[in-house]
Amino acid sequence: MADATLLTLYRNRDEQAIQRTIDIYGSYCRTVAANILDNPQDIEEALADTWLKVWNAVPPYEPKYWNLFLAKIVRSCALDIWRKNHSQRRGSGQADLALEELSQCIPSRISPELQLQSKELVQAISSFLRILPARHRVIFLSRYFYLEDLAAIAKANGMREANVRMLLSRIRRKLKMHLLQEGYL
């Protein structure tokens, strides 16, 4: 019900849409950002970027699963900030920063062929994830999409950290075999 209300607010371009989104999904998005960033100011920046991107994306896009839609956006924003911070610490951040600024007004540098291959690879990984048992899928996504640490994953799933590490190793091996069979490696 709340998701339908959110969608209506965004469709009507009602400024309350952002505040309602924050009220419903704010702590969830903060957790996703905090799994990537450790600086409170960076987390706030990622969240502010997220709300702007959501405002610009809805409509025309109408998410079916708001939590996944928001997680993808906040994760992307947080990773952008993380990359910016880490490249600047190495002293080479200016080229990356300049390219990032240009990326907002220049179309993607990825060729249509690479975009197609990328989409096909995503589909291959998705099909692999669908054949995993639900618990394994949750653990895999917790680590490699939400970037949670092993201790948090172990605690959430009632496992020891060593068991989570071993399970992830086995899943990665199976994923590699799946991608080999599909012709990606």
Sorted by sequence, the CB contacts under 8 Å of residue 118 that are 6+ apart come out as 110
Looking at the domain 112-181, which fold is it?
Arc Repressor Mutant, subunit A (1.10.10)
Token output for 104: 């907002």
Beta-carbon count within 10 A of 19 CB: 13
| Class at the top of the CATH hierarchy for domain 2-103 | mainly alpha
Distant-in-sequence, close-in-space partners of 149: CB < 8 Å, separation ≥ 6: 35
Cα gap 6→11, rounded to integer Å:
9
CATH 1.10.1740.10 residue window(s) in the chain: 2-103
Instruction: Write the pLDDT tens digit of every residue in 135-185.
Output: 999 999 888 888 888 898 999 999 999 999 999 989 988 988 888 887 766
Task: Cite the residue boundaries of each domain of the chain with CATH code 1.10.10.10.
Answer: 112-181
Mean pLDDT, the chain, whole residue set: 82
Residues of the chain with pLDDT under 70: 1, 87-117, 184-185
Q: Is the peptide bond before 60 cis (omega within 30 degrees of 0)?
A: yes
